[in-house]
Amino acid sequence: MSAVSVTSAPARAGRLRLNALWLAVPGVLFLAVFFVWPVAQLLGLSVVDPDNGAFSASSYQRIAATDVYLRVLGITFRIAGWTALWSLLIGYPLAYWLARLPDMFRGRMLLFVMVPFWTSYLVKTFAWMLILGRSGVINSLLTGTHAVDQPLSLINNQFGVMVGMVHAMVPLAVMTMLPVMAGIDRRLVQAAQTLGAAPARAFWLVYFKLSLPGVAAAGLLVFISSLGFFIVPAFLGGRQETMLAQLIITQVQELLNWSFAGALSAMMLLAALVSCVVYDRIFGLSTIAGGSGQVGTGRIRDLGLAILSLIAAAAARLGAVTRSLLGKRVCAMLLPGFCWLVIAFLVLPTLLVIPLAFTSSQFLEFPPPGYGLNWFRTYFESPLWIQATIRSFAVAFVTAFAATAIGGFAALALANSRTRWAGLIFAFFLAPMIVPRIVIAVGLFYLFARLGLIATDLGLVIGHTVLAIPFTLVTIAAVLKTYDQRLDQAAATLGANRVRTLTGVTIPLVKGGLVAAFLFAFITSFDELTIAIFVSGGLKTTLPKQMWDDMILQLNPTLAAVSVVVFIVVTAMLLVAERFRSSSRLD
């Protein structure tokens, strides 16, 4: 393939292609220094003896020999696995329903997924603490109506963690599955029906099968993200639900044991990578997607199809029974009904925080005895909170600029490049999304400690930019993908040079995508806690860091007021971003 293009294209074309890829170099360098290097160093530390600097596997021996660590590892895998499973089970029908909606309506309904997706984990977790706590919303309602005598234990146990984790992860699962499902030609299901397959059978044999790549990708992403979670287990879990990331934080912050933190991080990173590989092997992503390469490998495929046809036949029978029991009308209501329940589950908890922020009480009781602006006043009059807020805005603003510039140039480079390097570079830029944040954060902490960047705004900006680059790249690349390259060629034939083409044609046309990318990066930074915990030091806190500190100390209504402010800022940004993104879709 490349041989053909080399012989057919003159040398100049080769240089052009190289030039295009040069645009990605700043980003590659940035990620190499502030992402690859710190993570690699952290892994290196895990095999070094902290006392004498010699090679040593003592940290790993300690993990293997200590029951507690192995148990935490097991808990982490178990929780992440269950979270992935439940997120898929709940998210699949919702994604299916959304994918079938008419385009205009879908855009609007999608906000019910997008808003929870971008809502800060802290705010979401805080909401669940208010709902599930011993004197929380559910227990007040239950004891108030004398449905139960004793408050139920809904928090600080496995139930609480699962509710919080699944709530946090369903949006990610839905948003990963949705593009795949939207790409499935619905006439295929109709075709299966005209050929004699009952609706339920047609769904499983055709639609479900074709949606599997999305399901696998969603499961993988949710699993990996869950591995690195610490906010939800810290607040909604008990001792039995301690996860790996919490151990890492303790090792770094309280015990300053770098070597051991490195070893734990390595385990987490390894787990993430292994699950990537295993997923690919079991599900054979490209096989399911209909990739040409491995399709022919007979037996596994036959087995898969056989299992699927068994499920489909059973589903058809079940569908017929359900239909005869409930009637056609009720059956048609099942899916929308379920989806609205899921949406309520995703949206309502956060909204519940709003009335609590306006409570006149000293406590977070529900329903509030009266309403007032006391707690907003407390927030706005507290120098600590206001400084944290200003810092968060400033850091998010600079981060958004940096990430949009780096991601934008990288997207431009990749859009103009047809070499096999392009795919590799794209994957490299997405890597900060796959590597657990806690690993990046600890690595950066170690690096920044030696560069003197701890407790500086610059350190925060750098860390947040690493995390935001994948979002900006994906957003801008999506717009550039629909951008007609011939417009650039037309501009060139009409006499515009490279720079004039970029400023006069390309940028105005992809402006919406750039603004959307900027806002997504802004939200990413504004919400970010993990890096902030480590890098901001004790003094220069950001809004999420201040919330985290307060939540650990004691729940108070100020937190509700802050949550409302954060929620409103993020939601407003998101709505604007979505508007810009959809307006700049060029097809």
Applying CB under 8 A, the residues found at the interface with other proteins are 185, 187-188, 190-199, 201-202, 206, 209-210, 288, 290, 292, 295-296, 309
CB 384 within 8 A of CB 376: no
Closest CA to 258 of 43, 538, 73: 43
| Euclidean distance between CA atoms 100 and 418, whole angstroms | 34
CB closer to other proteins out of 301 and 511: 301
CB 259 within 8 A of CB 57: no
Tell me the closest approach of the beta carbon of residue 219 to other proteins, in angstroms. 19
CB 461 within 8 A of CB 496: no
Tell me the closest approach of the beta carbon of residue 187 to other proteins, in angstroms. 5
CB closer to other proteins out of 214 and 237: 214
Contact residues for 157 (Cβ-Cβ < 8 A; gap 6+) = 237, 238, 240, 241
Burial 36-53 (b: 16+ CB within 10 A, else e): bebbebbbebbbbeeeee
Cα→Cα distances 195→188, 205, 310, 319, Å:
10, 12, 18, 18
Q: Between 103-118 and 67-100, two packed helices, what is the crossing angle to 10 degrees?
A: 160
| Euclidean distance between CA atoms 428 and 263, whole angstroms | 23
Cβ–Cβ contacts within 10 Å for residue 135, how many?
13
Tell me the closest approach of the beta carbon of residue 175 to other proteins, in angstroms. 23
CB closer to other proteins out of 135 and 297: 297
CB closer to other proteins out of 39 and 288: 288
Cα→Cα distances 102→189, 192, 339, 561, Å:
17, 22, 16, 37
| Euclidean distance between CA atoms 583 and 497, whole angstroms | 27
CB closer to other proteins out of 44 and 183: 183
Tell me the closest approach of the beta carbon of residue 172 to other proteins, in angstroms. 26
CB closer to other proteins out of 191 and 424: 191
Tell me the closest approach of the beta carbon of residue 419 to other proteins, in angstroms. 24
Cα→Cα distances 377→317, 559, 564, 567, Å:
61, 12, 13, 17
Tell me the closest approach of the beta carbon of residue 208 to other proteins, in angstroms. 11
Tell me the closest approach of the beta carbon of residue 308 to other proteins, in angstroms. 10
CB closer to other proteins out of 105 and 340: 105
Residue 55, helix vs strand vs coil: strand
CB 66 within 8 A of CB 466: no
Helices H, strands E: what count in the chain?
Answer: 29, 0
Tell me the closest approach of the beta carbon of residue 542 to other proteins, in angstroms. 48
CB 453 within 8 A of CB 462: yes
CB closer to other proteins out of 138 and 188: 188
CB closer to other proteins out of 28 and 331: 331
Tell me the closest approach of the beta carbon of residue 217 to other proteins, in angstroms. 17
CB closer to other proteins out of 208 and 223: 208
CB 312 within 8 A of CB 204: yes
Cα dihedral 192/194/196/197 (nearest 10): 40
Tell me the closest approach of the beta carbon of residue 157 to other proteins, in angstroms. 42
| Euclidean distance between CA atoms 39 and 475, whole angstroms | 26
CB closer to other proteins out of 314 and 451: 314
Tell me the closest approach of the beta carbon of residue 371 to other proteins, in angstroms. 44
